[in-house]
């Protein structure tokens, strides 16, 4: 006579319609089904969020699979019956109460089935020849029955992550290209053609930073695809603006550039640092200030970690404070910060500290409506010892870490 296997769980555990569906699905699995136990575990690990499982639930599942003696799940003998003590050891010393909670989550997710004995204990009975005839514990048959579903979920999630990675790569390339092309046009003092949607290079830069503003809102792949398309259009527009002047051998001394200099003398005079560098003059020495005459590498590395966007505008990789100051001089007029405001900040808190503030303002993007007024406000607060750069940089670093974690999830 066939042994009686209980359908409902032992004790006060409830029996739900989900349990009925899981048992029916496991019972109706295709004949001859076979799957590697560690392969299905990897699929479940990839799809764990869709299945409502945490990392510790996966650790318990990993421990249960280790008690199955075969590499593959097949046939009808798929019940494992470890004691709580042995299961806790293989679950990396997990507490018994925590382990029970995660076992329940695996059952609720339809990953496991309970095969409870009359007294709720887990054990097996052997028949003639020492072969296990009846076992009470956790049935792994749902893993075998749902293996195609887990495989499909994992494939879809993997494909989505790959597509997301590709669109982020495209956005990174567009960001670098647009930033450097706008910096080149601004430094060469080129005029923007009338066909462009912005009157000048700062206007194009503002449009660029506005597009990048949506990156702070944890967009999905569809939103990133739309952003990549907008950045592609902007990159084509900026490139066409540069190509309009590509036939001139010396753009900085052409007649059209002299006219632009007369019409926009205020903007060009605010870019004195850039022109001095182009003429071969040395960058002024950094006077003692809040960051000191010789800033240590660690504060500079903090600035670069907190404000990675500044690197897009630098001619060379930023390796020291002089490189940082030169890059900030390129970005400052694009942000609409006047030369007078920047000079006041340099005198009050030092060139290095002022450059770091410009980098932070650039990184925050459209969150700052008036970069020039924001710089003056922070400068005034720093003079009254009411503002420090380190907390601002640390906040930016934390926001980067949160965004990276959100992308991984």
The secondary structure of 182-234 as a DSSP string is HHHHHHTTPPPPTTSSSSSHHHHHHHHHHHHGGGGG---HHHHHHHHHHHHHH
Across the chain, what does the average pLDDT equal?
A: 78
* Region 304-324 average pLDDT: 88
According to DSSP, the β-strands at 123-126 and 72-74 are unpaired
* Region 169-197 average pLDDT: 81
Distance CA 345, CA 23 (A): 71
Distance CA 137, CA 124 (A): 8
Distance CA 234, CA 212 (A): 12
Q: Are 354 and 342 in contact (CB under 8 A)?
A: yes
145: closest CA among 64, 61, 74? 74
Q: Quick one: how many helices (H) and strands (E) in the chain? A: 19, 6
CA distances from 255 to 28, 54, 183, 184, 185 (A): 83, 67, 21, 19, 16
> Could you tell me the pLDDT band of residue 28, with boundaries at 50, 70 and 90?
low
User: In this model, does residue 337 exceed pLDDT 50?
Assistant: yes
Q: Where are the domains of the chain?
A: 17-145, 158-248, 272-409
300: closest CA among 285, 311, 284? 311
For position 349, what pLDDT does the model report? 85
Residue 315, classed as helix, strand or coil, is: coil
Q: Which helix (H) or strand (E) holds 285?
A: none
Looking up tokens 């095969």 gives: 115
CA distances from 77 to 38, 70, 134, 179, 347 (A): 17, 10, 9, 63, 80
Three state DSSP letters for 106-138: HHHCCCCEEECCCCCCCEEEECHHHCEEEEEEE
Residue 74, classed as helix, strand or coil, is: strand
* Region 3-14 average pLDDT: 55
Quote the crossing angle between the two packed helices 389-408 and 297-306, to the nearest 10°.
Answer: 50
User: In this model, does residue 280 exceed pLDDT 50?
Assistant: no
For position 8, what pLDDT does the model report? 59
* Region 106-131 average pLDDT: 78
For position 209, what pLDDT does the model report? 83
Q: Are 211 and 365 in contact (CB under 8 A)?
A: no
User: In this model, does residue 251 exceed pLDDT 50?
Assistant: no
> Could you tell me the pLDDT band of residue 7, with boundaries at 50, 70 and 90?
low
User: pLDDT tens digits for 294-305?
Assistant: 333 457 889 999
Three state DSSP letters for 6-67: CCCCCCCCCCCHHHHHHHHHHHCCCCCCEEEHHHHHHHHHHCHHHHCCCHHHHHHHHHHHHC
> Could you tell me the pLDDT band of residue 150, with boundaries at 50, 70 and 90?
very high
* Region 344-353 average pLDDT: 88
For position 289, what pLDDT does the model report? 43
Instruction: Give me the CATH topology for the region 17-145.
Output: Arc Repressor Mutant, subunit A (1.10.10)
Task: Count other C-beta atoms under 10 Å from residue 183's C-beta.
Answer: 21
Residues 6 or more apart in contact with residue 313 via CB below 8 angstroms = 179, 180, 183, 327, 330, 331
Which residue did the predictor score with more confidence, 390 or 283?
Answer: 390
Distance CA 71, CA 65 (A): 9
Q: Are 303 and 337 in contact (CB under 8 A)?
A: no
User: In this model, does residue 61 exceed pLDDT 90?
Assistant: yes
Distance CA 328, CA 314 (A): 8
* Region 162-174 average pLDDT: 92
What pTM value is reported for the model? 0.63
- Percent over 70 (pLDDT), the chain: 74
């Amino acid at each position: 006579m066939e042994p009686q296997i209980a359908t409902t769980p032992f004790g006060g555990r409830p029996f739900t319609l989900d349990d009925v569906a899981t048992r029916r699905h496991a019972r109706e699995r295709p004949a001859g089904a076979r799957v590697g136990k560690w392969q299905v575990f990897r699929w479940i690990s990839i799809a764990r969020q869709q299945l409502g499982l945490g990392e510790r639930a996966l650790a318990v599942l990993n421990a249960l699979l280790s008690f199955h003696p075969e590499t593959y799940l097949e046939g009808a003998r798929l019940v494992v019956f470890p004691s709580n003590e042995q299961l806790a050891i293989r679950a990396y010393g997990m507490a018994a109460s925590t382990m029970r909670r995660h076992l329940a989550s695996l059952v609720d997710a339809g990953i496991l089935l309970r095969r409870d004995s009359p007294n709720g204990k887990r054990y097996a009975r052997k028949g003639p020849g020492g072969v296990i005839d009846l076992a009470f514990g956790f049935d792994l048959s749902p893993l075998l029955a749902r293996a195609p579903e887990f495989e499909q979920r994992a494939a879809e999630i993997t494909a989505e992550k790959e597509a997301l990675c590709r669109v982020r790569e495209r956005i990174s390339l567009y960001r670098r290209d647009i930033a450097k092309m706008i910096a080149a046009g601004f430094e060469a003092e080129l005029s923007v053609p009338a066909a462009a949607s912005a009157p000048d290079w700062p206007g194009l830069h503002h449009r660029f930073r506005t597009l990048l503003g949506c990156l702070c809102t944890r967009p999905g792949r569809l939103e990133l695809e739309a952003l990549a398309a907008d950045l592609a259009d902007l990159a084509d527009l900026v490139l066409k603006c540069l190509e309009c002047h590509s036939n001139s051998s010396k753009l900085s001394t052409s007649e059209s550039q002299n006219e632009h200099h007369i019409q926009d003398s205020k903007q060009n005079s605010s870019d004195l640092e850039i022109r001095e560098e182009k003429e071969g003059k040395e960058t002024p020495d950094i006077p003692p200030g809040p960051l000191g005459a010789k800033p240590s590498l660690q504060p500079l590395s903090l600035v670069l970690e907190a404000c990675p966007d500044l690197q897009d505008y630098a001619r060379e990789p930023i390796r020291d404070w002089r490189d940082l100051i030169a890059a900030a001089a390129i970005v400052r007029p694009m942000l609409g910060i006047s030369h007078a405001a920047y000079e006041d900040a340099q005198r009050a808190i030092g060139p290095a500290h002022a450059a770091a503030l410009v980098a932070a303002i650039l990184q925050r993007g459209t969150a700052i409506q008036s970069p020039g007024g924001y710089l003056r406000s922070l400068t005034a607060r720093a003079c009254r010892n009411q503002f420090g750069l380190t907390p601002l940089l640390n906040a930016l670093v934390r926001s980067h870490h949160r965004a990276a974690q959100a992308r991984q999830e």
